[in-house]
Copies of this chain bind each other. A is one copy, B any other.
Amino acid sequence: MEREMELLWGLDRSEPRRGPKPGLSRGSVVAAAVALADAEGLEAVSMQRVAKELGYTTMSLYRYVDSKEDMLALMGDAVMDVEPPAPREDGDWRAGVEEWAHGVTNVYRLHPWSVYLPLSGPPSGPNGLRWMESGLRELVASGLETGPAVQILTMLSAAARETLRIELEMGRAARETGSTMADIGRDYSTGLRRVVTEERFPTIARLLREGALEEEPPPGSADGVAGPVDDMHFAVRRLLDGIEAYVERRRAAGAPERD
């Protein structure tokens, strides 16, 4: 944890006094890696490949980054270098939280590979913390204590990451088979139908019967389909409802109870 924070905040690497001018910098290395991942995916990101992209030898990268693992961690924070939503003027915290959830999703969407990065704990880099600040701010505006707000935020970002991952996976499958996202949903359904029996999986069977996995495409969505991420907001709104009820209840009771 210590190490990771020093890494992400650049608190190591005191500025050098002697020796040749560095041709690269930690920033340029990370930027090249990010660009490469954007263009060809995370699998394409090897030290050799990043170095080639920069026109240097593989080992030169190790002057700027201690290991590939470190580089990946830096890429993770670099991706979040987007301004999070500004504080709302209207005090509508529900809208604020939803906006935040949309925001993170969109940030990830700009660099889809980033949802596959091996994370190691809560955010600790400058950009990650900026987003955390922004999300917490809105949640605390609801009247929640800071502790509970952290729990909620964790759930929200987990859901955003996971849901987007599923959507991306569907997109990849669609691209590979040359079909649409709607087709993939149907494929999944038919796949399930092959193994889901009424006795062993009654609820899933019902799900298939009701066609919940092959939804109506609302007009105006990217590829003609809602997609998991749009659907996610149903769950987000339930969570917001729950928070509202909780805060209300506590206010009424004079804030003694915690649950």
Contacts and interface: CB of A to CB of B under 8 A. Distances in A.
Contacts of A166: 121-122, 154
Interface of A: 1-2, 5, 9, 116, 118-122, 124, 126, 129-130, 132-133, 136-137, 140, 145-152, 154-155, 157-159, 161-163, 165-166, 169-170, 173, 184, 187-188, 191-192, 194-196, 200-204, 206-207, 210, 212-213, 215, 228, 231-232, 234-243, 245-246, 259
B231 A132 contact: no
Most buried by B among A118, A122, A242: A242
A129 B196 contact: yes
B148 A154 contact: no
A235 B154 contact: yes
Contact of A242 (B161, B165, B170, B238): B238
A5 B196 CA distance: 12
A163 B158 CA distance: 8
30 contacts: A1-B187, A1-B191, A5-B194, A124-B191, A129-B196, A130-B200, A132-B204, A133-B202, A136-B204, A137-B202, A145-B210, A147-B207, A148-B234, A152-B238, A154-B235, A155-B155, A155-B163, A155-B235, A155-B236, A155-B239, A157-B162, A158-B163, A162-B162, A237-B242, A238-B242, A239-B239, A240-B242, A241-B241, A241-B246, A242-B242
